[in-house]
Amino acid sequence: MSRFAASIFLFLFFGIVCLPALVIMIDDIDLNLGADPSPSQAVEKEEKIEKSPEDIYINVLHHSQGELKEMHLEKYVAGVVSAEMPASFDKEALKAQAVIARTYALAQIREEGGRGCDKHPSADICTQAEHCQAWESQEEARDKWASRQQESNWNKITAAVKDTKDMVVATQEKPIDAVFHSTCGGHTDNSEEVWSTTSTYLKGVECGYCSHSPWSTHKVTYTLEEFSRLVSRFPKAQPASSYLQPSFTVLDSSSGDRLRNVRLNNLSLTGHELRDLLDLPSTRVNWSVEGNSIVFKTRGYGHGVGLCQYGADGMSQEGYSYKEILQYYYQGVEVVPIQRP
C-alpha cells in the first residue's frame, strides 16, 4: 500500500470509528460529574428546597446583637437548654428542660397562634432571659466548656432535644405558661402568691430534690452603713441614717415561706422589691443584725414558681422520667406531641 493510501485509510478509520467513541466517553464523563454538583450548584439546589409543612420555625431576636433570625424550632430548643441548664445535669432533667423550652416557645410563635414578643414586635421571642428565655448558639455553648467536654456536652443536649422531639406540656389542648426557676429551696409557690394571675397547674409543691444546689442555702452580708445606703435609694425612703438601726416586720408570706410584704422601719416593701434592692437570690429569707453587720440567709434562687431545675436534676438522679418530673411540678397537665390544625 502506498503512503498516500495508508494516510487516507488512517484518516477514515479515526473519523469513522475512534472519534464517535471518544465523544461517547466524554459524554459519560460529563454525566458522572453531573451526579456530584459543585459546591455552588449544591447551594443553589439547597436554597430551592421548600420548608416542610410539618416543620415549625420561630423568629428569634438576638437581643445583644439586635439581629433577627428565623430558626427551626428544634435548633432553637437546643440553644435554650444549653443556656438555661448545666450540661452536667442528669439526662431526664435535660429532657424536661427541652420540653419546657419548646412549650414556652410554641406559645410565643405568632404563626402558631402565639402571643409574640411584646418587647420586640418583629420577633416571636428574644434571647433576653429576664424577658423571654436565654439562648446561645452551638459556638457560644462550646466556648464556655473545657475543650475535652465540648463534644460530649453538646451531644448530651441535642440528644435530650431529639428524644423529646415535638413534645410539649399542655392543658386543655393548649401549651401551658411554662415558667421555671433554678432552685426552690424546699417548696415551690402558687402563681398568685408571686404574680397577680391564678393558674390551676402552677400550684406549690414540696420539693426535697434540690438540696444539692449551691443556692439551697446562701448568705449575704452587708455592713449597716452599706445596707442603709442601699435602702435609701428606694422611692419614698428616708435618709440613709434612718436605717442604721433596721427594724423588720413581716406583713405577709407565701405558702412556700417566701416573703410577700415587709415593713422596714417606716418603709413598706414587697418581697421582690427587697430582693432586687439587696441583690438577694430569693425571697425565702430571714435576717439578723450581728454587730455592725446585717446578715440575710436565703434558700433557693429565683421566683419559685413552676419547674425547679435543681429539683428536676435531683428527681432524675432518683430514677424519675422527664414526664414524671414535669407532672410533679405542673399540676394536672399532659405531656403530649404538638397538636396543629
Average pLDDT over residues 137-165: 97
4 pLDDT higher than 90: no
Question: What pLDDT does residue 321 have?
Answer: 98
72 pLDDT higher than 70: yes
Residue with the bigger pLDDT between 32 and 135: it is 135
134 pLDDT higher than 70: yes
Question: What pLDDT does residue 65 have?
Answer: 84
Domain ranges of the chain: 57-178+321-337, 218-298
CA 253/CA 55 separation, integer angstroms: 45
Of 13-22, 51-60, 203-212, the poorest mean pLDDT is in 13-22
- Report the DSSP pairing between strands 67-72 and 125-126: unpaired
Asked if residues 304 and 235 have their Cβ atoms less than 8 Å apart, the reply is no
Spatial CA neighbour of 134 closest among 170, 98, 81: 81
12 pLDDT higher than 90: no
pLDDT by residue (tens digit) across 19-51?
444 444 434 433 332 333 333 333 333 333 345
Asked if residues 127 and 61 have their Cβ atoms less than 8 Å apart, the reply is yes
Identify the residue whose cell numbers are 436554597.
47
Residue type present at position 74: E
| Most confidently predicted of 9-13, 23-27, 116-120, 309-313 | 309-313
- Predicted model pTM: 0.82
Identify the residue whose cell numbers are 461517547.
24
324 pLDDT higher than 90: yes
Could you count the other beta carbons within 10 Å of the beta carbon of residue 172? 8
Determine which helix (DSSP H) or strand (DSSP E) holds 305, and give its type and residue range.
none
pLDDT by residue (tens digit) across 225-283?
999 999 999 998 999 999 999 999 999 999 889 999 999 999 999 999 999 999 999 99
Share of residues in the chain with pLDDT > 70 (%): 84
CA 134/CA 302 separation, integer angstroms: 15
Residue 70 β-bridge partners: 59
27: helix, strand or coil:
helix
Average pLDDT over residues 96-106: 97
Average pLDDT over residues 286-311: 97
Question: What pLDDT does residue 47 have?
Answer: 37
| Mean pLDDT rounded to a whole number for the chain | 87
Band the pLDDT of 53: cuts 50, 70, 90: low
Asked if residues 124 and 60 have their Cβ atoms less than 8 Å apart, the reply is yes
Cell readout for 264 is 422596714
Question: What pLDDT does residue 263 have?
Answer: 97
Identify the residue whose cell numbers are 432533667.
93
Average pLDDT over residues 135-160: 96
pLDDT by residue (tens digit) across 181-209?
999 999 999 999 998 889 999 999 999 99
